Structure 1
Amino acid sequence: MRIAVPNKGRIHDPSISLLERAGLPVVDGADRKLYADTVDPDVSVLFARAADIPEYVADGAADLGITGLDQAEEAGHDNVEALLDLEFGECRLVLAAPEDGDVETPYDLEGKTVATEFPRLTREYFDERNIDAEVVEVTGATELTPHVDMADAIVDITSTGTTLQVNRLAIIDEVLSSSVQLFARSDVVDDEKTEQVRTALASVLAADGKRYLMMNADRENLDAIRDVIPGMGGPTVMDVAGDDKVAVHVVVDDADVFETINRVKQAGASDILVTEIERLVE
C-alpha cells in the first residue's frame, strides 16, 4: 500500500509526525526522494505536492493520501473518499473583497470578476447562488489581484485572516471549512490494510489530550473513588496480590487530571501515577 504525503509546506511535518506516532515512521529519509519505505514492509510513502495528491490517489499511483479537504474538493474526483479528519491544518476558503470597495455581499459580484486558485469550488459557489461572476484562475499572490485591477474579489485560503487584513481585504463569506484528512480510493476503502492504517492514525488522535491514571486503594473505598472519576466509562479494577487492596486504572482528559487526583486522594486512593497515552484504540 502506498500513502501519498505532502512533500513540503505547512502540512508536511505534521503528516510525517502523525505517521511516526501511529507506528509507521519513514525509515530511509525523504530528502529529494519521491518514494520512501516505512517500518511496515507492506506500506510505503509517496511524496507529492499537496494539490496533486487527490490525482495520485484517483489514478492509482497511491492508495491513500493525506492532504487538505480543500484540495480534494477542488480536484473533484468521484472515486476519492475521505476516511478520517486528522485534526490539523484547519483553514477556511473564503470570499474576500477590498475593505473600501462596493462589494459587500456575494450578490454584488454579479457581472464582476473573481480571482482564485480554486476555480472549481468558486464556480460551484456562485452557480449555487445563481450569480453570474467571471472566475479567473491565478497561481499565487491571489490577494494582490484586486489592487492591480485584475479582479473585484478573490476566493482564497486563510487560517488567521492576517494576510487578508494586511492586504486590506474583508471576508464576505465562507466557501469551505477545511482541515487535513486521510483519503482513500473507493476500491481500497474496505481493504484490511486501509482499515489498519485508518485505525492506527485514529488511535493517535484519540489519545491526544488524554492521560492514564493508576492508583491503589482499599477495597472499602472503591465505590467512593468510582463516584469522583470522570473517565471514559467505568475504571478498570484489579485485585492487588496478597492484600485487601485494588488497583484502579482510568483514562481521563488532560483538563480533569488536577481535580481528579485531589478527589480520588480524598476518597482514599494512594500511589497515584499519571502517564501519557501514545495511542488509544476505541
Structure 2
Amino acid sequence: MRIAVPNKGRLHDPSVDLLERAGLHVVDGADRKLYAETVDPDVTILYARAADIPEYVADGAADVGITGRDQAAEADRDSLVELLDLAFGQCKLVLAAPEDGDIDTVADLNGGRVATEFPTVTRDFFADQSVDVDITEVSGATELTPHVDIADAIVDITSTGTTLRMNRLAVVADVLESSVRLYAREDVADDEKVQQIRTALGSVLDAEGKRYLMMNAPTDALDDVREVLPGMGGPTVMDIAGTDDVAVHAVVDEDAVFETITALKEVGASDVLVTEIERLVE
C-alpha cells in the first residue's frame, strides 16, 4: 500500500514526523527519492507535491494521501474520502482586495476580476454567492495582481495575515478553512490496512495534550482519589501486595496536571509519577 506524502514545503516535515510517531518509521527517506520503504513491508511512502496528492490518490497511484483540505477541494474528486483531520497546517483561503479600494463585500465584485491559484474553489465560492466574476488563474505572487491591474481582488491562502497586510490587502470574506487531512480513495477507505493507518495516526493525535498519572493511595482514600481524577472513563486501580494501599493509574489533560497532583496529595495519594503518552488508542 502506498501513502502519498508532501515532498517538500511546510507540510513535509510534520507529515513525516507524524508517521514516525505512529510507528511507520521510514527506512530510507533520502532527499530526491520518490519512494521510501517503511518498517511495515506492506507500506511504502510516495513523495509528491501537495497539490498533486489528491489526484494521485483518486487515480490509484497511491491508496491514501496526506495533504491540505484546500488542495483536496481544488482537485474536486468525488472518489476522495476524508478519514482524519491531522490538526496541523491550519490556514484558510480568503477573498482579499486593496485596503484603500472600494470593494468591501463579495457583491461589490460582481462583474469584476479575481486572481487565484485555486480557480475551482473560487468558482464554487462565487457561484454560491450568486456573484459573476472573471477568474484568472496564476501560479504565484497572487498578492501583486491587484496592484498591477491584473485583478480587482484575489483568493489566496493566509495563516497569519501578515503577507496580505504587507501588500496592503484587506480580507473581504473567508472562503475555506483548511488543515492537513488524511484522505483515501473511496474503494479502499474501509480496507483493513487503511483503517490501521487511520488508527495509528489518530492514536498519536489523541495522545497530544495528555499525561499518564501513576500513584499509590490508601484503600480508604480511593473514593476521594476517584473524585479528584478527571480521567478518561475512571482510573485503573490495582492492589499492592503486602500493603493496604492500591496503585491508581489515570490519563489526564496536561493542563490539569498541576492542580490534580496538589488535590491528590491532599486526599492522601503518594509517589505520584507523571509520564508522557506517545499514543492513545481508545
The TM tier, using the shorter chain, reads over 0.9
The residue that corresponds to 1:43 in the other structure is 43
The residue that corresponds to 2:118 in the other structure is 118
| Partner Cα separation in structure 2 for residue 29 and residue 158 of structure 1 | 30
The residue that corresponds to 1:277 in the other structure is 277
The CA RMSD over aligned residues, in Å, is 0.5
| Partner Cα separation in structure 1 for residue 169 and residue 75 of structure 2 | 26
The residue that corresponds to 1:203 in the other structure is 203
1:1-282 equivalence runs, <5 A: 1-282=1-282
**Which shows bigger deviation, 27-36 or 270-279?**
27-36
Cα-to-partner distance string for 1:48-74 (whole Å, 9 max, x where unaligned): 000000000001000000000000000
Residue type at the aligned position of 2:255: A
| Partner Cα separation in structure 2 for residue 172 and residue 54 of structure 1 | 28
| Partner Cα separation in structure 2 for residue 200 and residue 32 of structure 1 | 27
Cα-to-partner distance string for 1:34-92 (whole Å, 9 max, x where unaligned): 00001100001000000000000001000000000000000000101110000000000
* Gaps in structure 2 of 5+ consecutive residues: none
| Partner Cα separation in structure 2 for residue 137 and residue 212 of structure 1 | 50
TM-score by length of 2: 0.99
| Partner Cα separation in structure 1 for residue 25 and residue 100 of structure 2 | 50
Aligned-partner SS, 1:217: strand
Deviating beyond 6 angstroms after TM superposition, the runs of 4 or more aligned structure 1 residues are none
**Which shows bigger deviation, 227-236 or 203-212?**
227-236
| Partner Cα separation in structure 2 for residue 16 and residue 245 of structure 1 | 44
Aligned-partner SS, 2:264: helix
Residue type at the aligned position of 1:268: G
Aligned-partner SS, 1:50: coil
**Which shows bigger deviation, 197-206 or 236-245?**
236-245
| Partner Cα separation in structure 1 for residue 129 and residue 6 of structure 2 | 33
Residue type at the aligned position of 2:107: Y
Cα-to-partner distance string for 1:121-146 (whole Å, 9 max, x where unaligned): 10111111111100110001000000
**Which shows bigger deviation, 25-34 or 88-97?**
25-34
Cα-to-partner distance string for 1:85-139 (whole Å, 9 max, x where unaligned): 0000000000000000011101111111000000001011111111110011000
TM-score by length of 1: 0.99
| Partner Cα separation in structure 2 for residue 81 and residue 175 of structure 1 | 21
Q: CA deviation at 1:30?
A: 3.2
| Partner Cα separation in structure 1 for residue 142 and residue 81 of structure 2 | 29
* Gaps in structure 1 of 5+ consecutive residues: none
| Partner Cα separation in structure 1 for residue 119 and residue 30 of structure 2 | 32
| Partner Cα separation in structure 2 for residue 166 and residue 182 of structure 1 | 33
| Partner Cα separation in structure 2 for residue 30 and residue 188 of structure 1 | 29
| Partner Cα separation in structure 2 for residue 219 and residue 7 of structure 1 | 55
| Partner Cα separation in structure 1 for residue 220 and residue 165 of structure 2 | 62
| Partner Cα separation in structure 2 for residue 114 and residue 277 of structure 1 | 47
Aligned-partner SS, 1:25: coil
**Which shows bigger deviation, 232-241 or 176-185?**
232-241
